[in-house]
Amino acid sequence: MRFVAVKSEAKQALSAVFRVRDLLVGQRTQLINALRGHLGEYGVVAPQGPFHVERLIVEIEDSESLVPESARSCLQFLVDTLRALRGRIDRLDAEITARAKQDEGARRLMEIPGIGPMVATAIQALAPPAGRCHVNWRSATAWARMMA
């Protein structure tokens, strides 16, 4: 049986932000890979990763490209979805940064070189409290009563 530490409602909400962001990043990767695969069939290639997807988008939106109009109109749906996902991921990043500025623990963590708002809030949200990693449900319930 696996036991987990009891989290506050605020930490659960913050961990939900990270899980949603992770899901959206995964969907963005799927869309980029789909674009790379479809355009590869027409001889349009770009290196892997989100930084090179602009090359693919230019080919889709260029009426002079090697990609036929019938394919371009369909692939434009993927481009529009990708842009919407980018906007949502950016909004979540901004929310995480704002929460990092408000949280005292995250601000202290960000004083460590190499730790920014994303890592600091992830540690705050996802790391178990010190000394509370392996508790059973009885001690977790008792601990929650003590903290209330």
Average pLDDT of span 2-12:
77
Length reported for the chain: 148
Residue-averaged pLDDT of the chain? 85
Residue 144 CA: distances (Å) to CA of 28, 42, 147:
38, 60, 5
In sequence order, what DSSP letters do the residues of 52-70 get, joined into one string? GHHHHHHHHH-TTSSS-HH
Q: How many CB atoms lie within 10 A of CB 27?
A: 15
Residue that has been written with the tokens 């989100």 in this structure = 50
Instruction: Tell me what pLDDT residue 7 has.
Output: 76
- Check whether 136 has a pLDDT greater than 60: no
